[in-house]
């Protein structure tokens, strides 16, 4: 199976009708199959206007090009990796900034005023609020379809109410070499679902196939689409029904890569991840004991967590 000939499934999430429509049902099957086999897919979602995407891309570039002293003002001592993260944490070429609770207008306003202290940037702040709201709408379509496909409709409201949104954006410095250079090391996201948006034509995302043998291209085919990716906690919550893929970013050349990621994380009062009993039977024994989302994330930052091939199994494997 050649990585060159393989590509992520492309699924259109635009203008979906009522939940019981034939298109909703067929899309639900596509998503379930994609997340079982690849752990991710490319999504088109025309509900986010092109002008809004351009505004966000321009603003993200402006922020990440600000002096380091300003970017470092975005701190979050309570949760690691939710504020400014500099070079060398995940790789020598990447730095990123996070906005925790990205659906809160107050949070976004506070962030933009921190980055532009003189007069703020009210236009970008309003655009970012709308952009995050639209991304959350797309995310809820995906998660609703996942739970419906697993016969877990009764958990939908509980699941939505126990999660929140962390919006992160990344800048990858160009390696300035024609040779492939590791810009973001191999990893599995620790949250529930990640939605990635690329704001430049610089390719580099690679996904490891489920059998662990082949790296395939994970970049979108258009700057208007997104990569939706299963993370560790959703794999655990679904008792392994969905696959959380290992992925990395490899770059070459002289161009800077800008991306954003919407990370679905647990709220403080909903942070115990427990597999629904409906997903445990003789054919599907329990894979993971109930665990605290934030304590697990803390474990992954320890030496033992970093060294583990399967941090979740080591932390709470049944």
Stretch 159-165: mean pLDDT: 93
Number of domains within the chain: 1
Residue 36 is assigned to a structural domain of this protein: yes
Residue 307 is assigned to a structural domain of this protein: no
| CA contacts within 13 A on the Cβ side of 294 | 12
Lowest mean pLDDT among 85-99, 134-148, 209-223, 231-245: 85-99
Structure tokens at 131: 């952009």
Handedness of CA 156, 159, 162, 168 (dihedral sign): negative
Share of the chain above pLDDT 90, in %: 72
**How confident is the model at residue 90, as a pLDDT?**
63
Share of the chain above pLDDT 70, in %: 93
DSSP character at residue 52: H
The 10s digit of each residue's pLDDT in 282-301 is: 999 999 999 999 899 889 88
Least Cα distance to 273 among 248, 295, 292, 288 occurs for 292
C-alpha to C-alpha distance for 266 and 245, rounded to whole angstroms: 20
The 10s digit of each residue's pLDDT in 85-108 is: 877 666 678 999 999 999 999 999
The 10s digit of each residue's pLDDT in 111-139 is: 999 999 886 677 999 999 999 999 999 99
pLDDT for 3 beyond 50: no
DSSP state letters, 111-171 = HHHHHSTTT--HHHHHHHHHHHHHHHHHHHHHHHHHHHHTT-GGGHHHHHHTEEEEEEEEE
**How confident is the model at residue 20, as a pLDDT?**
67
5 CB burial (10 A radius; 0-12, 13-18, 19+):
exposed
**How confident is the model at residue 85, as a pLDDT?**
85
C-alpha to C-alpha distance for 132 and 186, rounded to whole angstroms: 27
**How confident is the model at residue 1, as a pLDDT?**
41
**How confident is the model at residue 2, as a pLDDT?**
42
Output the pTM of the full model: 0.92
Stretch 179-198: mean pLDDT: 92
C-alpha to C-alpha distance for 237 and 256, rounded to whole angstroms: 36
What confidence category does residue 21 fall into, taking pLDDT thresholds of 50, 70 and 90? confident
Residue 222 is assigned to a structural domain of this protein: yes
C-alpha to C-alpha distance for 270 and 161, rounded to whole angstroms: 8
C-alpha to C-alpha distance for 6 and 3, rounded to whole angstroms: 5
Instruction: Provide the residue range defining the domain that includes 17.
Output: 10-275
Residue 168 is assigned to a structural domain of this protein: yes
- The CATH number of the domain holding residue 199 is 2.60.120.330
DSSP state letters, 70-121 = HHTT---SSSTTSSEE-TTSS-TTEEEEEEETTT-HHHHHHHHHHHSTTT--
Lowest mean pLDDT among 70-79, 144-153, 158-167, 188-197: 70-79
Q: What does the mean pLDDT of the chain come to?
A: 90
The 10s digit of each residue's pLDDT in 243-268 is: 999 999 999 999 999 999 999 999 98
pLDDT for 4 beyond 60: no
DSSP character at residue 206: E
The 10s digit of each residue's pLDDT in 38-91 is: 999 999 999 999 999 999 999 999 999 999 999 999 876 566 667 888 776 666
First to last CA, the chain: 33
């Amino acid at each position: 199976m050649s990585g060159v000939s393989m590509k992520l499934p492309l699924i259109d999430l635009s203008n979906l009708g009522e939940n019981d429509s034939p298109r909703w049902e067929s899309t639900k099957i596509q998503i379930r199959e994609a997340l079982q086999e690849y752990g991710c897919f490319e999504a088109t979602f025309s509900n986010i206007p092109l002008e809004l995407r351009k505004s966000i891309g321009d603003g993200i570039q402006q922020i990440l090009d600000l002096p380091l002293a300003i970017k470092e003002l975005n701190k979050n001592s309570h949760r690691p990796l939710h504020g400014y993260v500099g070079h060398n944490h995940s790789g020598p070429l990447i730095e990123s900034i996070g906005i925790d609770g990205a659906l809160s207008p107050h949070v976004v306003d506070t962030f933009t005023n921190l980055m532009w202290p003189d007069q703020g940037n009210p236009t970008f702040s309003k655009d970012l609020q709308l952009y995050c709201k639209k991304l959350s709408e797309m995310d809820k379509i995906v998660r609703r379809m996942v739970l419906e496909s697993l016969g877990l409709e009764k958990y939908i409201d509980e699941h939505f109410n126990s999660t929140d949104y962390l919006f992160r954006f990344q800048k990858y410095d160009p390696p300035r070499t024609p040779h492939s250079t590791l810009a973001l090391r191999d990893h599995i996201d620790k949250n529930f679902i990640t939605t990635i948006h690329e704001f430049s034509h610089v390719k580099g995302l690679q996904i490891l196939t489920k059998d662990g043998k082949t790296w395939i291209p994970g970049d979108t085919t258009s700057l208007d689409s997104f990569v939706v990716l299963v993370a560790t906690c959703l794999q655990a919550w679904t008792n392994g029904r969905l696959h959380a893929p290992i992925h990395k970013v490899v770059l070459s050349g002289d161009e800077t890569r800008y991306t954003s990621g919407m990370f679905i994380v647990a709220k403080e009062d909903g942070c115990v991840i427990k597999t629904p009993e409906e997903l445990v039977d003789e054919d599907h024994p329990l894979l993971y004991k109930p665990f605290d989302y934030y304590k697990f994330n803390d474990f992954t930052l320890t030496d033992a967590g970093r060294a583990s091939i399967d941090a979740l199994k080591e932390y709470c494997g049944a």
